[in-house]
Amino acid sequence: ELKVEQNPLFLSMQEGKNYTIYCNYSTTSDRLYWYRQDPGKSLESLFVLLSNGAVKQEGRLMASLDTKARLSTLHITAAVHDLSATYFCAVTLNRDDKIIFGKGTRLHILP
Amino acid sequence: EAGVTQFPSHSVIEKGQTVTLRCDPISGHDNLYWYRRVMGKEIKFLLHFVKESKQDESGMPNNRFLAERTGGTYSTLKVQPAELEDSGVYFCASSLTGMRGANVLTFGAGSRLTVL
């Protein structure tokens, strides 16, 4: 059974700081997704990582994938308040199959 | 382009009552998924439609839950009778089939269900 674990589950940090959210998954997969959710809103796709060593960056967020370690990281650089949200990591075995989510990391950035 | 829309946004019912949630996917998206998030826990897969067919319903918790997608367009998820543990946010998502690369789901804003 495919399982996805994120840590930390909650993170409070000051603006301007750097931090990393970790996502481990239990079964070989080469499709990993990062989503963001603001309170009461839908999940917004941030990154899709499709191969070992893939790295994608958008603004202050950078995601990477190590399929051998079954690990993805979401790195936040010089955090700003607007990045406060819940971030979900998700994995699927095959393209159209169900996507399995982690519990999410609730990020709270203090001004 | 209209996104995935869900109705209602919030429903409060008593234990034993019935609730029907509706999802309108993006037009042309054959894949339609239902997920549920209980507070503080992971977003859990419920089921997956490809057009009007149930591709995978392994996540449906029990026979009190019934999902339909008549005509392969909108979908409904009925809970009858509702129990306290059914409370949570129900998300619907849709995507295209047969495309190369990743299957990127577009999510709706969710329907929050509170069972008292």
Residue B83 clears pLDDT 70, i.e. is over it? yes
Determine whether the interchain pair B107/A88 forms a contact, defined as Cβ–Cβ distance below 8 Å. no
The pLDDT assigned to B107 comes to 94
More confident residue, B64 or A99: B64
Between chain A and chain B, how many beta carbons pairs sit less than 8 Å apart?
66
**Rounded distance, CA A101 to CA B4, Å?**
19
pLDDT in tens, B9-58: 999 999 999 999 999 999 989 999 999 998 878 899 999 999 999 999 99
A39 vs chain B: nearest CA distance in angstroms? 10
Indicate the average pLDDT of chain B: 92
Say how far apart CA B32 and CA B6 lie, in whole Å.
12
- DSSP structure class, residue A30: S
The span from the CA of B42 to the CA of A100, in Å, is 9
Is residue B99 predicted with pLDDT exceeding 70?
no
| Total number of residues shown for chain A | 111
**Which residues in chain B have Cβ-Cβ distances shorter than 8 Å to A43?**
43, 91, 93, 105, 107
| Nearest-Cα residue of chain A relative to residue B92 | A42
Mean pLDDT of B72-90: 95
